[in-house]
Structure 1
Amino acid sequence: MEHSWRISKYWQRTPEGYLWSPPEEWTDFSDVGKRVSIEDYLVVEDAYLDAIRRFCVGIGVESLRIQSLSSHGPCQYHEGQQLGLHEIERVARGVLRNAFWCKLVCQNAEVHFGYDYYMYAVSSVDASAALADANPLLNIERFCSPYLPEREG
């Protein structure tokens, strides 16, 4: 797919230009109650979910399916499960909270979840306008998702 964005809560950069977070920054749901309050965490989580919704609506995607599902225990979702917009939000919330991991995909769009609250939106359609309206708390920039399959040739 030709368009790809990295979505993160990070804004600081190293002198080389890489995104960076200070050691005290929370990077995982397990940090709730230690480095971040549940209230502050939910503000960020909701911003991520809103970005996914804006991305999907902006490019006309009404559903995504679960791909590469991985779970350490019982999971209420299954590989290939088709999800409407409301279900996408529930699944994304579960992934952000480390309950399980998966990609969300369809023919012309994908959402990938990385470590430390990096998320990637990939599509065959330019979603820049839709993502521009996302919460300014998030840093959204063009960036090739590392979760895309490697291209041959």
Structure 2
Amino acid sequence: MYELGLLVAFLIWLYSSVAILLRVNSQLERNLNKIGQRLSWTTGRVIHLDSEKQPFWHKICKYLLIVFTGLVFVLLSWGYVVMAVMSFIYTFSKDIGAPQSVKEYRWKLRNRNLSFDDMVKETVLAAGQPPHNFDEAKEAILSDLEERGFSRRNLTGR
């Protein structure tokens, strides 16, 4: 029974390792990067980017640390399987009650290449704010990004 648990845990670990690579290179990630955000590699939640450009070796080391930590947990066999299944269930169930505007926003982020202005507009609409708040929201996002060390020219393309 322990060996079966190891096999199932290993397959889940393998899936998770590949899913991180796919998530980091997805359209959703590219769209979020335009407004200074990214997906967390461990939880899949949206978080702020720390800096404009991280060295490539930093990303590789971070990926290897996450993957090898998960590989150690594979030895827990069924405990890892239960934890992974509960995580998958939580991820899918949290979106069930989301309003339609939020679901459309998420679909656009995953499937369309949006410009910076489109990202701001969609973010305003998904937050339930009136469309006339676009300029205020855009300026707030730009000033926040500049405070974190991003160049305004790189963000807006001007």
Name the one with the larger strand percent: 1
TM bin, normalised by shorter chain, reads under 0.3
Name the one with the larger helix percent: 2
Higher relative contact order (CA 8 A, sep 6+): 1
Q: Which structure has the bigger radius of gyration? A: 2
- Tell me the TM-score normalised to structure 2 length: 0.25
